[in-house]
Structure 1
Amino acid sequence: MSVTSKQILGLYKQLLERAAKFDNYNFREYSKRKIVDSFKEHKSLKEEKDIVDFYNKGIDSLAQLKRQTTVSQMFTFDKLVVEPLKQKHN
């Protein structure tokens, strides 16, 4: 199986979008940071096997994130002081 750079970029975007769905600020920011760091760390992969392995692990991580964000949305948390408040514009 061959993985294109377009597929990897798509996976990256999907992971970040899913991580943004965490209601809890700490989980959300940790997940986003972990995704960005992982892709930066692996951007120099050259071997096809290594790229495919990284992509498959990313697919597994996406499935895990989907489960985790679904569970996190079942519970509500108060906003933390560090979170920006959404302001209403009239």
Structure 2
Amino acid sequence: MASTSKTAVLKMYKTMLRESSKFSFYNYRMYALRRIKDKFRENKSLRDPTEIQHNMQEANKYLEIIKRQVIVGDLYKSDKLVIEN
């Protein structure tokens, strides 16, 4: 299965991190980055191809949600927080 290869998983991880870093709101951005890192770290020892495939499909769904939420967040921009400067 090509979609369960190590490179495909790594590509999904990097894509999710890249898309999450586009959140305009600091709290959303940090939450998304933390959740992605935790979830991938939690599942790094998976070896079953069907389970990996299932997790990749789930990650793809969440990636689409992140992309939509970034677009919606851009519609409601606000000033940056002090912590971001």
- What TM-score results when the alignment is normalised by the length of structure 1? 0.89
- Paired residues, what number? 84
For 1:13-62, what per-residue CA distance to the aligned partner results, in whole angstroms no more than 9, with x for missing partners?
Answer: 11001000100000000000000000000001011111001111010010
State the match for 1:82 in structure 2.
Answer: 83
RMSD: 0.9
What secondary structure, in the 3-state scheme, does the structure 1 residue paired with 2:79 have? coil
State the match for 2:72 in structure 1.
Answer: 71
Identity of aligned residues (%): 36
Which runs of 5 or more structure 2 residues have no equivalent in the other structure? Answer: none
State the match for 1:53 in structure 2.
Answer: 54
State the match for 1:87 in structure 2.
Answer: none
- What TM-score results when the alignment is normalised by the length of structure 2? 0.94
Misfit runs of 4+, over 3 Å: none
Q: Larger helix proportion, structure 1 or 2?
A: 2
Larger radius of gyration: 1
1:83: how far off? 0.8
State the match for 1:17 in structure 2.
Answer: 18
Cα distance in 2, alignment partners of residues 76 and 61 from structure 1: 22
Cα distance in 1, alignment partners of residues 19 and 7 from structure 2: 18
Query: 1:16 is matched by which residue type in structure 2?
Result: L
